[in-house]
């Protein structure tokens, strides 16, 4: 028998359910969840779990908003059950028990750095003509064979075990498609009348030569970062007063980024869809200046097929709305799987260094997911 607490906050009739225990220790992560579901690291101690089947919704407080990078498709989906806030330790334990050590494996194809070189020259040409200051070309590696439920559980275990405190593990899937990842980039975190976001741009590998101070003082990386700050501050000023925190270095699995936290105080309530339209895509994955738009990027390699890579994935629950940027992710559709990486190109960028950055990012995804690294990534 599944047991939950019903709590009615003083002065309201609104019911909050906190699922913390099960008398018979029945699994929370059911077969229905593996068919259609989602999860997100909600805080340091809890995971928010959505169980399908999914149904379209308008205006509900508990839902997942799924859109592609170019915002050409949108799905506002409600779960069939009340979302559960599950202790992280229990969530991880159930995944471990279910996976039984299953490990996903495939033969990876790519990346095609020749294609990336063409895109790099295309973007640099537009920069030299002063049409843009920055854009983000991408590359992709592919494999065949979608993961089984147990293999997906194993991938999730690795995500939680290898993510740092600067990352948020997440996942969403429906029939025949889905993604799993652990992103360092939050598009927005809205709670009541306050929005937290960040400029996250500028990347180096964390190796024996890594120096946080040298990274902070790298003029190319810092310029790339500043463009994102300028863009976000301009957008957030439309909502209310903006506070910018000092820029810091965040270290992840094999990588480090420059990060500047930003906070805006809202003068009125703003819906998740409005925040997506206002903020996505930042120049960390799109174009600077924003006014140029990103539609022209579809002529670059892999852009039309990128789907959810770099897209906003929004989790609405109660009074909080958490919008994540889908990077450092594993994607599958039908029987194909995909890993993507991109890098910001500005005037000072050098092709060989940007190609190396792509490989560093792809390598970090393999390590994050516990996947065997191909020869080309070593």
The string of pLDDT tens digits covering residues 161-203 is 999 999 999 999 998 999 999 999 999 999 988 999 999 999 9
How many CA atoms within 13 Å lie on the side-chain side of 165? 2
Nearest 5°: CA angle at 253, between 224 and 301? Answer: 50
Token readout for 26 is 């029945």
Contact assessment for residue 236 and residue 262, using Cβ atoms and an 8 Å cutoff: yes
**Full-prediction pTM beyond 0.75?**
yes
Res 5: pLDDT: 43
C-alpha neighbours within 13 Å on the C-beta side of residue 152? 26
Torsion angles phi and psi, residue 245, rounded to 5: -85, 165
Distance CA 278, CA 270 (A): 10
At the second CATH level, the architecture of 2-377 is 4-Layer Sandwich (3.60)
Q: Report the pLDDT value the prediction gives residue 28, as an integer from 0 to 100.
A: 76
Model pLDDT, residue 7 = 42
Long-range contacts at 210-215 (CB < 8 A, ≥ 24 apart): 210/256, 212/249, 212/256, 215/249, 215/256, 215/258
First to last CA, the chain: 50
Give the SS3 label for residue 235: helix
> What's the distance, CA 51 to chain centroid?
20
Q: Which helix (H) or strand (E) holds 169?
A: strand 168-174
Query: Which residues of the chain, if any, have pLDDT below 50?
Result: 1-25
Confirm if 271 and 27 have CB atoms less than 8 A apart.
Answer: no
Q: Which pLDDT does position 371 carry in this prediction?
A: 95
Per the CB < 8 A criterion, the answer to whether 293 and 335 are in contact is: no
CA distances from 267 to 61, 193, 195, 242, 264 (A): 21, 7, 11, 12, 9
- pLDDT given at position 44: 95
Please, are residues 208 and 254 in contact by the beta-carbon 8 Å criterion?
A: no
Give residue 298's Cα distance to chain centre: 20
Residue among 75, 59, 79 at smallest CA distance from 67: 75
Give 83-99 as a DSSP string. -EEEEHHHHHHHHHHHH
Note the pLDDT of residue 1. 38
């Amino acid at each position: 028998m599944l047991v939950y607490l019903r709590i009615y906050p003083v002065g309201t009739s609104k019911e909050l359910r906190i699922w913390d225990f099960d008398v018979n220790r029945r699994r929370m992560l059911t077969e229905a969840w593996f068919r259609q579901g989602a999860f997100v690291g909600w805080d340091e101690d809890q995971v928010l779990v959505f169980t399908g089947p999914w149904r379209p919704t308008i205006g509900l407080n508990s839902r997942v908003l799924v859109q592609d990078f170019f915002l050409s498709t949108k799905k506002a989906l409600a779960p069939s059950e009340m979302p559960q806030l599950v202790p992280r330790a229990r969530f991880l334990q159930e995944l471990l028990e279910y996976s039984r050590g299953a490990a996903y494996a495939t033969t990876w194809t790519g990346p095609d750095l020749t294609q990336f070189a063409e895109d790099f020259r295309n973007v640099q040409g537009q920069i030299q003509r002063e049409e843009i200051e920055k854009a983000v070309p991408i590359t992709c590696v592919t494999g065949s064979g979608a993961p089984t439920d147990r293999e997906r559980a194993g991938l999730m275990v690795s995500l939680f075990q290898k993510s740092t405190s600067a990352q948020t593990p997440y996942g969403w899937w429906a029939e025949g498609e889905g993604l799993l990842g652990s992103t360092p980039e939050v598009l927005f975190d809205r709670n009541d009348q306050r929005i937290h976001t960040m400029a996250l741009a500028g990347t180096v590998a964390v190796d024996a030569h890594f120096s946080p101070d040298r990274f902070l003082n790298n003029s190319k990386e810092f310029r790339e970062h500043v463009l994102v700050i300028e863009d976000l501050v301009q957008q957030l000023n439309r909502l209310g007063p903006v506070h910018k925190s000092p820029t810091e270095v965040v270290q992840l699995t094999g990588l480090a980024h420059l990060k500047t936290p930003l906070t805006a105080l809202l003068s009125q309530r703003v819906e998740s869809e409005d925040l997506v339209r206002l903020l996505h895509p930042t120049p960390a994955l799109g174009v600077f200046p924003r006014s140029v738009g990103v539609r022209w990027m579809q002529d670059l390699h892999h852009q039309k097929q990128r789907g959810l890579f770099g897209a906003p994935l929004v989790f609405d629950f109660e009074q909080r709305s958490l919008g994540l940027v889908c990077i450092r992710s594993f994607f599958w559709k039908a029987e194909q799987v995909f890993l993507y990486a991109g890098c910001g190109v500005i005037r000072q960028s050098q092709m060989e260094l940007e190609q190396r950055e792509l490989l560093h990012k792809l390598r970090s995804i393999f390590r994050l997911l516990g996947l065997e690294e191909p020869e080309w990534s070593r």
